[in-house]
Structure 1
Amino acid sequence: MSLTGLIQGLNAFHSNYFNDHRELFERLSGGQSPEVLFITCSDSRIDPCLITQAQPGELFVMRNVGNIIPSYGAASSAESAGIEYAVEALGIKDIIVCGHSHCGAMKGLLQVGTLAEKMPAVYDWLKRHGEATRRLVLDNYPDVEADDLLKIAIEQNVLTQIENLETYPAIRSKLHSGRLNLHAWMYEIETGTVFAYNAPQRCFMLMEKRSFPVPDPLITTVRA
């Protein structure tokens, strides 16, 4: 969409949706109280509020290239600050890490060396925080075709981020006391469906009526 289209959309939002939901926005001006932290990729094809049909104020959203959360101590100020605020200030009850099909970041991760010259910042981000996923996938699935390997990388990357979240002291404490749950999701763009990781089955399963909270600690294994 062009900038002109965005401005037209803003005008339509204010004239239609905002006027129809004015009471909601007036209430939101007094503060937020979301129960879910939704961590996903910056990719323009995934919209957390659209796919979950969440209303304004219901999701606390964090996005970056590849839905990557560095482990505690290695995290940049943005990721660590967002997690800390969500868990401690907002009292988040559920954290979802949601990857998606055809993820460009995971494609880049599988051939990360080619990014060094053209996109050095992307290369540095993926090399520093995606190496565990890359090595696991390439070392354990050497004979898998490219499309299937990408799917495995996308799923495995989500599980790696769940493990990284478990290194945060505040999250560990709340997991232990049952005040917080972690969920690993994968959104399939072409079908509009969401799959959740089922740890006992060691695979992502179509989610219809419920998610599958990831047990603590997670064993990052996906069946090929």
Structure 2
Amino acid sequence: MAILPPTSSSLSKDSSYSFSLHIQSSTIFGSKLKSGEFQQTRFRLFSNSNSYPGLTIKASRESLGLTQELKSNKLERVVETEDGSDLFEDMKHRFLSFKKHKYLENLEHYQNLAKGQAPKFLVIGCADSRVCPSTILGFQPGEAFMVRNIANLVPPFESGPSETNAALEFSVNSLEVKNILVVGHSCCGGIRALMSMNDEIDKSSFIQSWVVNGKDARLWTKAAASKLSFDQQCKHCEKESVNRSLLNLLTYPWIEEKVKKGILSVHGGYYDFVDCTFEKWTLDYKEDNLKEKNGRISVKSHILWS
């Protein structure tokens, strides 16, 4: 919709008049606008010395609501945000800070890492952006081989190939890690999806097809905590799914063999970022205890860091 200028009868021959044209569009003069936003284009009309039909139109463009930002140098930041440039600029500074304060100050260590790795841990954590194991537990480069997936699940051996059990095979057989740590966490969306599932899986859903690996934890939680609220059941399942993953680890022949010989230990962990506490426990391996008793597994060294 345009705001029209006065009729020619109201214009003097030497007069000029400014008016604004508001256009709703997705593209104006090559500038992409979000749907539903307005851009203000100002036209200044100058009368011809002889007649009004010869009006000369000069157009200047101003982005509605952005003029003040331009004056305060904020327009560039708005534009940069659209393509992520400012995010990568910040990332660049973080990298250069790492290079200056970590890499170059520990150059020998990083040069040794370039020759090979010998991590002591395989850590299986959730892909959730709030629970980076290296940040929480202070792992430095070279200390932990890391796998992150939805809900920090370990599928059983019979489920077939996945990136998680490929990492298990490589880290245990090639890197010869001594410890496997499965870390669950509070407010886990993957566990919530697991607990919300119907008995029949929607095979078109990648999420359901993956989190079904925690079905035993779900069933046990539904049976043992049926009187609790759904949120409390989810919290219960967040820890139970870790124990089920520890049992699933033992379905891999090369893992069970090493655990049985005492050269590999499997551990569970639970990070509660609501109150910033961390629970850690270790599977107490006994051949006669591989079959669950009363739905529980035997653990040792169960401690709380708070």
TM-score (norm 1): 0.83
Question: Which residue number corresponds to residue 170 of structure 1?
Answer: 254
CA distance in 1, matches of 2:113, 2:224: 48
CA distance in 1, matches of 2:252, 2:113: 29
The DSSP-based 3-state class of the residue aligned with 2:140 is: coil
Question: Which residue number corresponds to residue 121 of structure 2?
Answer: 36
**CA-atom RMSD, angstroms?**
2.1
- The alignment status of 1:70 with 2:140, answered yes or no, reads no
Structure 1 or 2, whichever has the larger Rg, is 2
Shift of 1:98: 0.7
Question: Which residue number corresponds to residue 215 of structure 1?
Answer: 285
Instruction: Provide Cα deviations, 1:129-177, integer angstroms capped at 9, x if missing partner.
Output: 1222211111222101233211110001000100100000001111111
- The alignment status of 1:12 with 2:102, answered yes or no, reads no
Q: Note the 1:164-203 alignment, pairs <5 A.
A: 164-197=248-281
Unaligned runs of 5+ in 2: 1-85, 298-306
Which structure is higher in strand share?
Answer: 2
CA distance in 2, matches of 1:19, 1:138: 52
CA distance in 2, matches of 1:30, 1:143: 55
Give the counterpart letter for 2:90 in structure 1.
G
CA distance in 1, matches of 2:104, 2:275: 33
- The alignment status of 1:123 with 2:208, answered yes or no, reads yes
The DSSP-based 3-state class of the residue aligned with 1:102 is: coil
The DSSP-based 3-state class of the residue aligned with 1:2 is: helix
* Contact residue 112 and residue 126 of structure 1 kept, 8 A: no
- The alignment status of 1:152 with 2:232, answered yes or no, reads no
Unaligned runs of 5+ in 1: 198-211
The DSSP-based 3-state class of the residue aligned with 2:96 is: helix
CA distance in 2, matches of 1:90, 1:69: 19
- The alignment status of 1:23 with 2:105, answered yes or no, reads no
Q: Note the 1:71-86 alignment, pairs <5 A.
A: 71-86=156-171
Segments of 4+ moved more than 6 angstroms: none
Give the counterpart letter for 2:256 in structure 1.
R
CA distance in 2, matches of 1:189, 1:3: 27
* Contact residue 41 and residue 98 of structure 1 kept, 8 A: yes
The DSSP-based 3-state class of the residue aligned with 1:73 is: helix
Identity between Structure 1 and Structure 2 (%): 27
CA distance in 1, matches of 2:284, 2:147: 19
Give the counterpart letter for 1:188 in structure 2.
D
Which residue, out of 174, 190, 194, partners 1:109? 194
- 67 and 166 in structure 1: CA distance in 2 versus 1, 3 angstrom threshold: same
Instruction: Provide Cα deviations, 1:111-130, integer angstroms capped at 9, x if missing partner.
Output: 124xx88x821122123x12
The DSSP-based 3-state class of the residue aligned with 1:46 is: coil
Higher relative contact order (CA 8 A, sep 6+): 1
Question: Which residue number corresponds to residue 176 of structure 2?
Answer: 91
